[in-house]
A and B are shown apart, each in its own frame.
Chain A
Amino acid sequence: MAVFGSLSQPLPADPTPVETPSVDWAAAAPLLVLVGGALVLMLWSSFVRSRRATHLYTAFTCLVAVGAIGAVVPLWREVQDADRGPFSTFGGAVGVDGFSLFMTVVIAVAVALAALFIDDYLRREQLESVEPFVLVLLSAAGGVIMSQANDLIVLFLGLEILSIAVYVLAASHRRRVTSQEAGVKYFVLGAFSSAFFLYGIALVYGGTGTTNLIEILEYFSTTVVTDDGLVLAGLALMLVGLGFKVAAVPFHFWTPDVYQGSPTPMVTWMASGVKAAGFAGLIRVLVLAFDAYAVDWQPIVFALAVATLFVGAVLAVVQTDVKRMMAYSSINHAGFVLVGVQAATDQGVEAALFYLAAYTFLIAGTFGVITLVGRRGDGHHRLDDYRGLARTQPGLALVLTLFLLAQAGVPLTSGFFAKFYVIVAAVDAGSTVLAVVAMLSSVISAYLYLRITVSLYMSDPTEEGAPRLRVPVAAGIALALCVAVTLVAGVWPGSIAETARDAVPVLAAVG
């Protein structure tokens, strides 16, 4: 604002230098690691040409992801330090708090898992190239920006960086028309929803005079707004944009088509990292900045959650394509996270964070198995293709069973506690009805997971001559990781839950 203010005045004789905001580069370290990694990878690939290059790209991408997590550690210590605490930087546009760091780790983990599944896929489909890895890294950078954004413009930038890379990923299977179709659909609808989001930002700016979340919060706490039509309309439009990203009903239409058409390992990323980033943005805007308007947006999120839970559960049951089933199932999961958001309490955010962390491993693992079962051509996704998998591939079938049971919320898996915490948060916040609805939807969706499981263990394979599946090393590592986390978090959820408790988002002033 200072810039515009100075323009209206006559120019002084000797111009004072423009004050650039103080930049804490260390605070941006995870982001820089991701972006830097993407750039290095792209440059490197133009020098190195090797048949084994894909392996190296995968290893490098994982290294970058681990590096980003490593960069989070000192920041996390700083934020948890009672003397330092959460802070904002880049002129208040980027917030470093437990929440953004937690989400950064979730996103980085999703990057590593996606890269491990992409690895063999590219070789199998003869699509070896470096671009998918670069795109996932860039998309992750967008996600990290979203989870750190303390300014609506920054949030929008993050959203677009995240999305554009994902559109390309969706269309990245060059020889499959369905993949192209998925990319175009995702792009057109994504642009459509982004337009709403941007317009929402404009309206909020019109209503409050700022796009900075900290200032918006301050504005509401110090000003009595008599005519808040602009703010409310802006909030509604922003909800549309974010609702689209997290695939909340009724902004979910793209999900089944895009998940079905896109290359399966790319869906791993879409269902885990992209969704997590979307929720990060949603929580920052709704729970943090628009806390004062909770009574206004809570009923809307309530309605969205109910619709999302039910449409996800019911339509999942009637699908015959496993990727579509999982698409609807992921919609159902989004409904559960919305239940946590709806509570609008610290406990609700904790529950949502736990859910997203657990869900990232679950859904990545599930789509990882689907990638493998898809076989060459990525086309074996009918339920029939899973019949008798337990006979030919007992290990893989067991792993998929575990993921499905966890998604159904069976105890001793992370999925149980994910649902448990969300529902406890809803009950504590007085949203008993929503808790009951969420549990009902989980009863319905249990049938879905059971249906796939039964297919696995029943009947002989329809194609006797189908070649035995081979589980590649990279995918094996990723699956092992997912299984381990799912089981360990199912027995000892404490460590993740306590970390999530420490990750309560704060809108801290610049410091």
Chain B
Amino acid sequence: MTDVVWLIPALPLAGFLVLLVAGRRLGEPGAGWLATAACGGSFLATLVVYAGLLGEEEHSRSSVTTLFEWMPVGDLQVDVGFLADPLSIAMALFITGVGTLIHLYSIGYMHGDADFPKFFVYLNLFVFSMLLLVLGSNLLVTFVGWEGVGLCSYLLISFWFTDEANASAGKKAFVTNRVGDWGFLLAIFLAFATLGTVDYGELAAGAGELAGVTATAIALLLFLGATGKSAQIPLYIWLPDAMAGPTPVSALIHAATMVTGGVFLMTRVNPILAAGYDWAPDVIAWVGVVTAFVAATIAVAQNDIKKVLAYSTISQLGYMFLAVGVGAYVAAVFHMITHAFFKALLFLGSGSVIHGMGGEQDMRRMGGLRKVMPVTAATFIVGWLAIAGVPPFSGFFSKDEILLYAWGSGGAQGRALWAIGLVTALLTAYYMSRQVFMVFFGEPRWDEPVAASAGAAAADGGEAGDGTAGEAGHAEVRPHESPWQMTVPLVVLAVLSAVGEVINLPFTDDLHFLERWLHPVVGANEAHIDVATGTKWALAVGAAVLALVGILVAAAVYLRRRVRAVEPSVLAHAWYYDEAITRFAGGPGTRFFEAVAWFDAHVVDGAVNGVAALVRTGGRRLRAVQSGFVRSYALGISAGVVVLLGYFIARLYV
């Protein structure tokens, strides 16, 4: 049954093509339903393949279906093939499953938008690219999907392209990812040059023969790619800005699927990581945990409902990289899946709130919404408890698993990783509770003007972007519950967030379903920790207590108003990282990411400062050369002649 694996990406591709041709004719809601059906069909196909794999013996649960010979490279041949194995199917299951729910949700959310069909064109293209990414049988097919999701992300963020903020955010996403892609491509070439293959099966088999330095280089270059796609330090700046796009996009791309691509990649190449130097995984673990912590601190002081979730996503992805770094691949995938459930839920819930509030995104203008939006509130609260790490919701178990492995990785480093992770868990509980209390509890503040001093954080991009544009007038806000297409996905995701932990319960070995499922792929390089059962319980109880502490503190601050809120402006401004980059945009190293926006403001708008100034001061001579005078061009050519001749003559006598 595994040979129908090609159907999984083919259905969204077919949906994309049909919508591209006939999208306008199908109109609303036809185009939306078609796209949803394509994604749903893909989910069913994934189930079939899953069943097929289950029927196999554990060691033979891996099959490559080659579609066609793709391209000859030197003496090698690269095929377009799909790899159906436990890891790729686990990914495909939640991508298509959550993807279908988000498609359904979008039908309600995008209601009335002039570009309704086009939105679904992109959405299906995205699902196709993402499936290509996870199902590809070699690095190159994965790379095609990798670029494809980046492109879709860019297109979907700039969906309302008349909006300058969106277009700029889209560009930031594209260019930052391009830097990451550069690392990815270098890794591919390096694998080519040393192992002569990019096929996952052959890479895993040949990784052992790699020199330590080469394996480390490939792994870290892939990790550079992963930091771009999965928004880790230092390439994370695009993700908060990407929230300018429509909310279902944020849910699908920037929470549930695309951003996990980096974690998937690192899990996929675990044999290479294992063949490298020991410090390479440590780098990944530290980047992960520091990102988790920094992003959590920033989330504490955001007022835009989506930006809180954006930084929270960065933080949770940091946990996953921490897991990869300490060799807890199963825990990484486990958290990836539960995160897909609860973060999609939270994003869609926030979209429902924004929809009900008529486009408002500032949490200071919300409050008391649980009375008017009961379904949204109830489901959001489930998502909140899941991410905050309250047992028995799913997030508690997956996060606890990661912290356990961090603790178990031993030494002072293991303790440090664990401690930072734990503090981050506390912060997570705190900022998520803050969000829930500000949005759904307390007094309604729907018509209150926001204090001018606090406007800064909301103003930088998020405010302008979202929602069913046009009805955002502040005259009188009457929040209302969203239509069934939106609430049904919320309920389904809430159930999954609540019980998603059953795929890998820690209590007895019999309950480690996910671990056994993934064993053929990661088993060989999975870390084995030796922690006493009592310690395990102590760690789990400690984490749970800490989560409750976080919630109680937030309640004291934002619900009871007993304590004054501490929201330092340094956190509201995301540690000034973004601004710092902007300020030093002239520097060569930073030019490629944030300076993009800076370039744009100065060059696209035709102002002769900015880059032009750079060129003028730095390259006055260069300008003089490109003067338009034939004589100076001839001089330039002559100079070239002299250099060339000089070189050859020098070769003669040296």
Contacts of A451 in B (CB 8 A): 599-600, 603-604
The answer to whether A497 and B151 have CB atoms under 8 Å apart is: no
Contacts of B185 in A (CB 8 A): 423, 439
The answer to whether A435 and B162 have CB atoms under 8 Å apart is: no
Q: Contact partner of A497 among B72, B147, B647, CB < 8 A?
A: B72
How far is the CB of B634 from the nearest CB of chain A, in Å? 5
What is the 8 Å Cβ interface bit string for chain A, positions 224-256, against chain B (1 contact, 0 not)? 000011001101110110011000001101101
A410 at the interface (CB under 8 A from B): yes
Contacts of B374 in A (CB 8 A): none
What is the 8 Å Cβ interface bit string for chain A, positions 417-450, against chain B (1 contact, 0 not)? 1001101110110001001100110011011001
Pick out which of these stretches binds chain B: A42-50, A89-97, A363-371, A453-461. A453-461
The answer to whether B144 and A253 have CB atoms under 8 Å apart is: no
| Known A237-B645, A410-B151: A454·B637 in contact at CB below 8 Å | no
Contacts of A184 in B (CB 8 A): 630
The answer to whether B604 and A455 have CB atoms under 8 Å apart is: yes
Contacts of B192 in A (CB 8 A): 424, 427
Contacts of B167 in A (CB 8 A): 454, 457-458
The answer to whether A439 and B144 have CB atoms under 8 Å apart is: no
The answer to whether A427 and B641 have CB atoms under 8 Å apart is: no
Contacts of B636 in A (CB 8 A): 250-251, 253
Contacts of A454 in B (CB 8 A): 158, 167, 170-171, 600, 604
The answer to whether B630 and A188 have CB atoms under 8 Å apart is: yes
Contacts of B600 in A (CB 8 A): 451, 454
What is the 8 Å Cβ interface bit string for chain A, positions 277-308, against chain B (1 contact, 0 not)? 00000000000000000001001100000000
B565 at the interface (CB under 8 A from A): no
Contacts of A232 in B (CB 8 A): 648-649, 651-652
How far is the CB of B611 from the nearest CB of chain A, in Å? 5
Contacts of A417 in B (CB 8 A): 71
CA distance A192 to B625 in the complex (A): 17
CA distance A184 to B73 in the complex (A): 44
Contacts of B186 in A (CB 8 A): 436, 439
Contacts of B161 in A (CB 8 A): 390, 457-458
Tell me the chain B residues, 174-192 only, with Cβ under 8 Å from chain A: 174-175, 178-179, 182, 185-186, 189, 192
The answer to whether B73 and A424 have CB atoms under 8 Å apart is: yes
The answer to whether B652 and A229 have CB atoms under 8 Å apart is: yes
CA distance A128 to B2 in the complex (A): 62
The answer to whether B644 and A300 have CB atoms under 8 Å apart is: yes
CA distance A416 to B184 in the complex (A): 14
| Known A296-B651, A439-B185: A250·B604 in contact at CB below 8 Å | no
The answer to whether A458 and B164 have CB atoms under 8 Å apart is: yes
A492 at the interface (CB under 8 A from B): yes
> Number of B residues contacting the other chain (C-beta, 8 Å)?
60
CA distance A459 to B640 in the complex (A): 43
Contacts of B634 in A (CB 8 A): 188-189, 192
Residue of B73, B167, B192, B645 with highest tally of chain A CB at under 10 A? B73
A119 at the interface (CB under 8 A from B): no
| Known A236-B648, A459-B162: A185·B604 in contact at CB below 8 Å | no
| Known A251-B640, A410-B147, A454-B167: A494·B162 in contact at CB below 8 Å | no
Residue of A193, A318, A501 with highest tally of chain B CB at under 10 A? A318
CA distance A454 to B600 in the complex (A): 10
The answer to whether B147 and A235 have CB atoms under 8 Å apart is: no
A217 at the interface (CB under 8 A from B): no
Residue of B151, B611, B639, B651 with highest tally of chain A CB at under 10 A? B651
What is the 8 Å Cβ interface bit string for chain B, positions 69-95, against chain A (1 contact, 0 not)? 111111000000000000000000000
CA distance A320 to B606 in the complex (A): 7
Q: Contact partner of A493 among B70, B596, B633, CB < 8 A?
A: B70
How far is the CB of A430 from the nearest CB of chain B, in Å? 9
Q: Contact partner of B630 among A189, A315, A458, CB < 8 A?
A: A189
How far is the CB of B211 from the nearest CB of chain A, in Å? 15
Contacts of A253 in B (CB 8 A): 625-626, 632-633, 636-637
The answer to whether B649 and A189 have CB atoms under 8 Å apart is: no
CA distance A446 to B174 in the complex (A): 9
Q: Contact partner of A411 among B72, B148, B592, B606, CB < 8 A?
A: B148
A196 at the interface (CB under 8 A from B): yes
The answer to whether A447 and B596 have CB atoms under 8 Å apart is: yes
Tell me the chain B residues, 568-610 only, with Cβ under 8 Å from chain A: 592, 596, 599-600, 603-604, 606
Contacts of A446 in B (CB 8 A): 174-175, 178
Q: Is the interface of A mostly helix, strand, loop or mixed?
A: helix
How far is the CB of A351 from the nearest CB of chain B, in Å? 9
The answer to whether A296 and B648 have CB atoms under 8 Å apart is: yes
CA distance A384 to B186 in the complex (A): 36
The answer to whether A236 and B641 have CB atoms under 8 Å apart is: yes
Contacts of B644 in A (CB 8 A): 236-237, 239-240, 300
B615 at the interface (CB under 8 A from A): yes
CA distance A501 to B647 in the complex (A): 33
The answer to whether B611 and A318 have CB atoms under 8 Å apart is: yes
B654 at the interface (CB under 8 A from A): no
What is the 8 Å Cβ interface bit string for chain A, positions 397-424, against chain B (1 contact, 0 not)? 0000000010000111000110011011
A153 at the interface (CB under 8 A from B): no
CA distance A224 to B147 in the complex (A): 52
B628 at the interface (CB under 8 A from A): yes
| Residue in chain B with minimal CB distance to A388 | B162
How far is the CB of B147 from the nearest CB of chain A, in Å? 5
CA distance A244 to B600 in the complex (A): 32
CA distance A440 to B589 in the complex (A): 12
The answer to whether B637 and A435 have CB atoms under 8 Å apart is: no
CA distance A54 to B284 in the complex (A): 65
B193 at the interface (CB under 8 A from A): yes
B143 at the interface (CB under 8 A from A): yes
| Residue in chain A with minimal CB distance to B150 | A410
B612 at the interface (CB under 8 A from A): yes
B537 at the interface (CB under 8 A from A): no
The answer to whether B604 and A383 have CB atoms under 8 Å apart is: yes
CA distance A176 to B161 in the complex (A): 36
The answer to whether A257 and B604 have CB atoms under 8 Å apart is: no
A317 at the interface (CB under 8 A from B): yes
Contacts of A494 in B (CB 8 A): 69-72
Contacts of B69 in A (CB 8 A): 494
B68 at the interface (CB under 8 A from A): yes
| Known A236-B645, A250-B636, A251-B637: A412·B179 in contact at CB below 8 Å | no
CA distance A435 to B182 in the complex (A): 11
CA distance A251 to B643 in the complex (A): 12
| Known A232-B652, A443-B182, A457-B167: A240·B640 in contact at CB below 8 Å | yes
The answer to whether A244 and B637 have CB atoms under 8 Å apart is: yes
CA distance A450 to B179 in the complex (A): 14
Contacts of B151 in A (CB 8 A): 405, 410
Q: Contact partner of A427 among B144, B164, B189, CB < 8 A?
A: B189
| Known A383-B604, A390-B161: A435·B189 in contact at CB below 8 Å | yes
Contacts of A229 in B (CB 8 A): 649, 652
Contacts of B628 in A (CB 8 A): 257
A147 at the interface (CB under 8 A from B): no
A498 at the interface (CB under 8 A from B): yes
Contacts of A296 in B (CB 8 A): 648, 651
The answer to whether B630 and A185 have CB atoms under 8 Å apart is: yes
The answer to whether B72 and A457 have CB atoms under 8 Å apart is: no
| Known A185-B630, A383-B604, A492-B68: A236·B647 in contact at CB below 8 Å | yes
What is the 8 Å Cβ interface bit string for chain B, positions 93-111, against chain A (1 contact, 0 not)? 0000000000000000000
Contacts of A460 in B (CB 8 A): 162
Tell me the chain A residues, 96-155 only, with Cβ under 8 Å from chain B: none
Contacts of B143 in A (CB 8 A): 411
A347 at the interface (CB under 8 A from B): yes
The answer to whether B611 and A317 have CB atoms under 8 Å apart is: yes
Residue of B599, B600, B637, B645 with highest tally of chain A CB at under 10 A? B637
Query: Which are the 7 A-B pairs with shortest beta-carbon distances?
Result: A253-B633, A250-B640, A232-B648, A457-B161, A411-B144, A236-B644, A411-B147
| 10 CB < 8 A contacts A-B | A184-B630, A240-B637, A250-B643, A253-B632, A253-B637, A299-B647, A300-B647, A424-B192, A451-B599, A458-B164
